[in-house]
Every structure is written in C-alpha cells, then in structure tokens.
Structure 1
Amino acid sequence: MPIIINLDIMLAKRKMSLTELSERVGLTIVNLSILKTGKAKGVRFDTLEAICKVLECKPGDIIDME
C-alpha cells in the first residue's frame, strides 16, 4: 500500500500557501514541493514536527496510506 501525502489538503484547510509554509518552517519551496507531490524518499521527524506545528495538525493529517 503506497503512502499518500496530504500536505496540499492541509494547506488548503489552513488557507496557507506553500511559500508561506516554506518561510515559517525554514525549508525551501522545492523541498516542500517534493514532499507535497509524494516524490520524497523520506521525511525527517523534526521536519514533520515543524510542519505540524505551523499547520496545527498531527502527522496522520499529512501522511496516510492508500
């Protein structure tokens, strides 16, 4: 079962752009875009934690399985 990344859904729910998330988390737009499109090979826990803090969500809100 493939892992699904719902970052775009959380961004829409929070009415936040990828650019704003990038600035607030301290990651490049390119790296966030790779994660958002599901092309990332992995994600560091501290990165996931930072994204969740900014989006006020839990990791399970961003990462799911099909």
Structure 2
Amino acid sequence: MHENRLRILMAERRISITKLASEADISRTTLTNIYYERAKGITFETLDKLCIHLECTPNDLLIIKT
C-alpha cells in the first residue's frame, strides 16, 4: 500500500495540474491520473521530472506503507 502526496506538494506550491504538466513536460492525462490516484504505476522518467520540478525526493512524493 502507498500514499501519493502529489496533491499535497502541489497545494503547498500552489501549482495547478495544467501548469505543472506544461512546465515539467508531462502529459496532462498522465499527471491527472497520478493526481487522482487512478494511475496503476509511474515511470522513472515521470517520477524524475516531478521530483526535479517540485524540488523533492521520491520519498516526499510517495510513501510506502507496510
């Protein structure tokens, strides 16, 4: 089980899906699916782009719960 913190990080930075998709060069569909937790997975490339743009680590974005 995991916790997706994308919404929280975006809210803290006051950035919209459209703006983040454009600035991080991620498709809006992909970002929307991650945001609403509909994605079944995330590529390393997308994870890297999110972390670089949001200035965070994968651990800040995804929390694995055991």
TM range (shorter): 0.7 to 0.9
Alignment-mate amino acid for residue 25 of structure 1: A
Deviation at 1:54, TM superposition (A): 0.5
C-alpha distance in 2 between matches for 1:15 and 1:37: 17
> If the length of structure 1 is used for normalisation, what is the TM-score?
0.86
Given the alignment of the two structures, is residue 46 of structure 1 paired with residue 45 of structure 2, yes or no? Answer: yes
Unaligned segments of structure 1, at least 5 residues:
none
Amino acid at match of 2:17: L
C-alpha deviation, 1:4, in angstroms? 1.5
For the 8 Å contact 1:4–1:38, the answer to whether it is kept is no
CA RMSD in angstroms comes to 1.2
Give 1:37's aligned residue. 36
Number of equivalences = 65
Matched residues in 2 for 1:21 and 1:37: separation?
A: 15
CA shift, 1:41, in A, is 1.3
- What per-residue deviation string (whole Å, max 9, x for no partner) do you get for residues 9-29 of structure 1? 000111111111000111222
Structure 1 CA distance, aligned partners of 2:60 and 2:5?
Answer: 7
The equivalent of 1:59 in structure 2 is 58
Deviating beyond 2 angstroms after TM superposition, the runs of 4 or more aligned structure 1 residues are: none
